[in-house]
Structure 1
Amino acid sequence: MRRRLALIAGATVAASLLTAPLFTAQAAPTLLSQGHAVTASSTENAAFPASAAVDGDPGTRWSSLAADPQTLQVDLGASHTLNQIVLQWETAYAKAFTIQASADGSQWSTVY
């Protein structure tokens, strides 16, 4: 089974580094989403692609069109236990959002 994450925001979304760090004793967090397939409901322009949300570069970001709602979906490629999700917002961040997880990309459970 594959684990997917989706961010659903009720405002313009400008997120970078959708992360799911997994911690072990004294280890640096692993960016679980980095390099995985990511899709978005919209992109503001070519300078802010969905892939920039999970590329591990704090200097890049994804930005959606200014319309509600917007989604960002990351296919993690396999099932994972998630213990933390970190969103780093640009100044035009969403006022409300939902984080959902799915094993199949069809049935979703809200995790936040």
Structure 2
Amino acid sequence: MRPRLLFASAAAVVAALTAATAPSATGAPRAAAAAWDSDLAAAALSANPAAATASGSQSPELGPGAAFDGNGATRWSSNAADNAWLRVDLGETLRIDRVTLDWEAAYGKKYVLEVSGDGTNWRPFYTEDAGTGGTVTAHTYPQEVRGRYVRLRGIERGTPYGYSLFSFKIYGGTPAPASTTRANLALHHP
């Protein structure tokens, strides 16, 4: 008899994914894998309000968490200095696919987006030398950008005011585990 190649059904894949997010045997919820179309920074801030930090803020209500809270009406505003920075701790090392910045009228003319595994050693993955504000999406492809911390480091402001962001969104997630690739879902049956 010839071997048959069977593929997992869509229902089996959904059931496996549902089981991965169900409570464990101890009753504690399992961590769900990050979705590539969800804002990793907002999720990190929701899980840990201390995840957002900055070199400084214009006032307490314009603090660093306001850029990551998912509310387009709130914003972070730095002190009026060129070298200000804003960062978020994603809580684990993830692959960064893209970053979207939604600038207020006080924008960055020159700035760098950086990633770090430890919050100390930074590697740039996007540099802007002639920013004009508005909404900017920085894609990482074809780079392989991974890190736990993501930072916007200002170099030169576009106005006399500080840097000001309505939102700083980060998208990406964990790479698909090998067991979910099509070839590995195949079952050989005699």
TM-score interval, smaller chain: 0.7 to 0.9
Structure-2 residue corresponding to 1:54: 68
List structure 1 segments (4+ residues) > 6 angstroms apart after TM superposition: none
- Kindly provide the CA deviation profile for residues 25-84 of structure 1, in whole angstroms up to 9, marking residues without a partner as x: xxxx30100125010001001221100010010110100011120000100000111111
Q: Distance in 2 between matches of 1:22 and 1:84?
A: 13
Structure-2 residue corresponding to 1:3: none
Structure-2 residue corresponding to 1:93: 107
Q: Under a length normalisation based on structure 1, what TM-score does the superposition of the two structures give?
A: 0.73
- Kindly provide the CA deviation profile for residues 74-97 of structure 1, in whole angstroms up to 9, marking residues without a partner as x: 000001111110000001101111
Residue 39 (structure 2) aligned to one of 20, 31, 39: 31
Which one scores higher on RCO, CA 8 angstroms, separation ≥ 6? 1
Aligned length: 87
Identity %: 38
Structure 2: gaps (5+ residues)? 1-33, 127-190
1:66 aligns with 2:80: yes
Point out the structure with the larger helix share.
2
Q: Distance in 1 between matches of 2:118 and 2:60?
A: 29
Point out the structure with the larger strand share.
2
Q: Contact conserved, 1:33 with 1:74, CA < 8 A, in 2?
A: yes
Structure-2 residue corresponding to 1:17: none
Q: Distance in 2 between matches of 1:22 and 1:68?
A: 34
Q: Contact conserved, 1:42 with 1:64, CA < 8 A, in 2?
A: yes
Q: Distance in 2 between matches of 1:78 and 1:95?
A: 30
RMSD over aligned Cα atoms: 1.5
Q: Under a length normalisation based on structure 2, what TM-score does the superposition of the two structures give?
A: 0.44
Q: Distance in 2 between matches of 1:31 and 1:45?
A: 25
Q: Distance in 1 between matches of 2:115 and 2:98?
A: 13
Structure 1: gaps (5+ residues)? 1-20, 24-28
3-state secondary structure, aligned to 2:67: helix
